[in-house]
Amino acid sequence: MTAAIGRFNSRTFASLRYHNYRLFFAGQAVSQTGSWMQRIALGWFVYQITHSPFSVGVMAFAQFVPFMVFGLFAGVLADRLDARRTVIGTQAAQLVTAAALAWIALGGLAQPWMLYLIAFLNGTVLVLDVPSRQQLTYRMVGREVLPNAIALNSSLFNASRIFGPAVAGTVYGFAGAGVCFLINAVSFLAVLLSLFAMRVRDFFPLEEFERPSILRGTREGLAYVRSQRRMLVLLGLTFVLSTFCFNFNVTLPVLAAKTLHTNAQVYGLLSALFGGGALVGALGAASLGRASAKVMLLGSLVFTGSELLLAPQRSTVASGFLLFLVGVGFTAWSANSNAMMQLQAPDRLRGRIIGLYFYAFNGTGAAAGLFAGWLCDVGGTELAFTVAGVAGLLGTLGAATEFRRRPPRLEPRRRRTHEPQHA
């Protein structure tokens, strides 16, 4: 039994044997908690000052429209720029936007248009931050352990989804949104310190390749994906699930306030239950040590089916239980689909493939947020979750049918010499 537990731990936490990844993981543990506090507080704050589900959708539109406009080109920039320096810049920029939110909230100056503007600016930063952090993860752990690192990143993100919303609900209830925003601003110092403390000589090297121009590099990335049918299936499923099923920044505030007639503390608890399920799914993916199409499809089925079951609920307890299952399925799907995309990408195109994946994930977020807000306005969360569940199940069925015809084959693992290379 002890030996089995030891093998489980060694597989699940394999990435932590790398010094740079340990630093990054520790810094993100602090920063992600603050970020989740801000996400929860911002959604509730917008609803509180506008009393409109559609306004929460407008906030989501402002946050995600940069992905729709610039997302196709972000991966090219990630391939051109040094990953560590880029992440230092994007994290510092997010510190500034969080501080701006804290200033206008604590000063009593907040107007909806100000919140939308800051959400837009923060979203613009995230367009470059997301593929650059993924590229940095590859540099820290290499190809062999990459699926484990992606799953551990997801575990950390979702552990923060438990703690951050729970703390945000309490802090918001006693001190207001401004303090939540201020805590997030301070939390970025932890990840910045971890980035500055990294040993650049320990980064895994990349193959030498010509740094692409923006337009030519984008065309190359698109052409490669078009030639890989399984990548197209993964991107198609990601597009469907992210567009119709992953709008919790809009639906959860409305579920807590309008459907269940509760308060900010219950909203934080529901978000934390989703995060608890997501953490379980992510740790399960990490323990596999490899990307699995079967686990990805099963996760997608649980994710979307649980949303459909959530639609008619009027009980806080039942809603919390189903959100836990939604979270389990979500990360089982997302961690495996992310790893499958990256493992099929050559070094010279990895940033662009990551960029295209997150373009499919976030590129429709602007329109999807408005759509989810409109559905909540017209038919409440019952209509919004019904549409999400049906669309997601149909997308999962389509992907499963395609994979059954053409089972996905990941590029075989190659052992690479860990040669020190300066970034």
pLDDT tens digits, residue range 395-418? Answer: 999 999 988 876 555 444 444 444
- Helices marked H in 289-363: 293-310, 316-343, 350-362
Question: Is 9 part of a structural domain of the chain?
Answer: no
Regions of the chain with pLDDT less than 70? 1-11, 207-212, 289, 406-423
13, part of any domain = no
Model pLDDT, residue 198: 95
User: Is 330 among the domain residues?
Assistant: yes
CB of 303 within 8 A of CB of 329?
yes
With a CB cutoff of 8 Å and minimum separation 6, the contacts of 378 are: none
In a domain, 420, yes or no: no
Query: Is the overall model pTM greater than 0.75, yes or no?
Result: no
In a domain, 217, yes or no: no
Amino acid 422: pLDDT:
35
Which residue range forms the structural domain that includes residue 115?
18-203+222-405
**Structural domain count, the chain:** 1
pLDDT at 86: 95
In a domain, 209, yes or no: no
pLDDT tens column, 293-312: 889 999 999 999 999 999 99
For residue 174, the domain's CATH number is 1.20.1250.20
Tokens of residue 362, six digits:
């976030």
Q: Note the pLDDT of residue 262.
A: 86
165 and 33 Cβ atoms separated by less than 8 Å: no
CA–CA gap between residue 117 and residue 63 (Å, rounded): 9
Supply the pLDDT for residue 180: 92
The tokens describing 196, both together, are 């500055």
Per DSSP (E only), the strands in 76-187 are: none
